């Protein structure tokens, strides 16, 4: 079945450091790929997505490129801020029988940014 | 714009008690979902409703039932709660039905923290 593997955390960085969170996937067909972010005590918010190979999703300074040849969708940000501290989930989307789409999530990577 | 609203936010149950988590979305979405989040396991799909009038099992349906009351509302019921159902529950919704659905964003509620003692 489909699966998503992302690097374990917590990842601790100083403010303005460069961030990479690795994500690789296993899937049949051509899934869409997503990064969601969860701030403490809140639900998941879509951060960015890419729906086909070589697409780059970007939002709030974060970027990720859909690499089919390496089955990866690594999340990057050039300069993190304390406000970026959260848990980041990589996910792939698959069609469900009867309609709709199912997200398969990685286990999440906690990011802590310190001053 | 409220998006996806779920209640209650926090609940403590005794083993064997029943309860219903309520969810409503105001985005006119066709598909709705219930996920649970457990430490170190990401989110897993419990049940989903691709469209009004249909419901189907996800990865971890045992111990749960659902009702798609209308297009807006999708409830999750625990008939006899067990400690293994202690978790954070998220309701979610997405727009498109059928072909092309996989690229659509799924929108999540803020979560319901359930503890079964």
pLDDT at B103: 66
SS3 A71: coil
Q: What mean pLDDT is reported for chain B?
A: 91
Q: How far apart are the C-alpha atoms of B24 and B4, rounded to whole Å?
A: 6
Q: CA torsion sign, A14 to A19 to A25 to A31?
A: positive
Q: What is the pLDDT of residue B53?
A: 87
pLDDT digits (tens, 9 = 90+) for B63-107: 999 999 999 999 999 999 999 999 999 999 988 655 555 667 889
Q: Using CB atoms within 10 Å of the CB of residue B17, give its burial: 0 to 12 exposed, 13 to 18 middle, 19+ buried.
A: middle
Q: What band does B40 get if pLDDT is binned at 50, 70 and 90?
A: confident
For residue A45, the cross-strand partners are A37
Nearest partner of B107 among A39, A47, A96, judged by Cα: A47
Distances (CA, A) of A95 to A89, A98, B97: 19, 9, 10
For residue B45, give every residue at least 6 positions away whose Cβ sits within 8 Å of its Cβ, in sequence order, or none.
A102, A103, B33, B34, B35, B58, B59, B60
Residues of A in contact with B93 (CB under 8 A): none
Count of alpha carbons within 13 angstroms of residue A104, beta-carbon side: 20
CA dihedral (A1, B52, B29, B21) positive or negative:
negative
| Closest B-chain CA to A33 | B103
Nearest to A44 by CA among B84, B94, B52, B60: B94
Distance CA B113, CA B97 (A): 29
The helix/strand/coil state of A86 is strand
B111's tokens: 């979560």
Q: Compute how many other C-beta atoms are within 10 angstroms of the C-beta atom of residue B71.
A: 16
Tokens 């879509």, residue located: A46
Q: In the predicted model, is pLDDT for residue A45 greater than 60?
A: yes
Return the number of CB contacts < 8 Å for A and B: 83
Q: Which of B95, B115, B46 is nearest to B75 (CA)?
A: B46
Residue B86: DSSP 8-state: -
For position B50, what pLDDT does the model report? 85
**pLDDT per position as a tens digit, A67-103:** 999 999 999 999 999 999 999 999 998 777 766 678 8
Residue of A nearest to B35 (CA): A103
- The band of B21, judged by pLDDT with boundaries at 50, 70 and 90, is very high
Residue from the list B56, B103, B107 with its beta carbon closest to the beta carbon of A32: B103
Whole-number pLDDT of residue B13: 97
CB contact under 8 A, A101 and B58: no
**Nearest neighbour of B51 by CB, restricted to A32, A89, A99:** A99
Task: Kindly state the percentage of chain B with pLDDT values over 70.
Answer: 92
């Amino acid at each position: 079945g489909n699966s998503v593997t992302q690097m374990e955390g917590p990842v601790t960085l100083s403010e303005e450091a460069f961030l990479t969170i690795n994500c690789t996937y296993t899937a049949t067909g051509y899934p869409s790929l997503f990064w969601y972010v969860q701030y403490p005590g809140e639900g998941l918010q879509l951060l960015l997505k890419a729906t086909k190979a070589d697409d780059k999703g970007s939002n709030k300074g974060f970027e990720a490129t859909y690499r089919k040849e390496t089955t990866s969708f690594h999340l990057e940000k050039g300069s993190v801020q304390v406000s970026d501290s959260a848990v980041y989930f990589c996910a792939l989307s698959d069609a469900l029988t009867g309609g709709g789409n199912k997200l398969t999530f990685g286990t999440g990577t906690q990011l802590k940014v310190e001053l | 714009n409220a998006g996806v609203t779920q209640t209650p936010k926090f609940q403590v149950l005794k083993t064997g008690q029943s309860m219903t988590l309520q969810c409503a979305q105001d985005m006119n979405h066709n598909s709705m979902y219930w996920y649970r989040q457990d430490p170190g396991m990401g989110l897993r799909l419990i049940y989903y409703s691709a469209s009004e009038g249909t419901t189907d099992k996800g990865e971890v349906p045992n111990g749960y039932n659902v009702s798609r009351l209308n297009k807006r509302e999708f409830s999750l019921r625990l008939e006899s709660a067990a400690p293994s159902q202690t978790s954070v529950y998220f309701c979610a919704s997405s727009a498109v039905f059928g072909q092309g659905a996989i690229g659509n964003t799924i929108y999540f509620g803020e979560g319901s923290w359930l503890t079964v003692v």
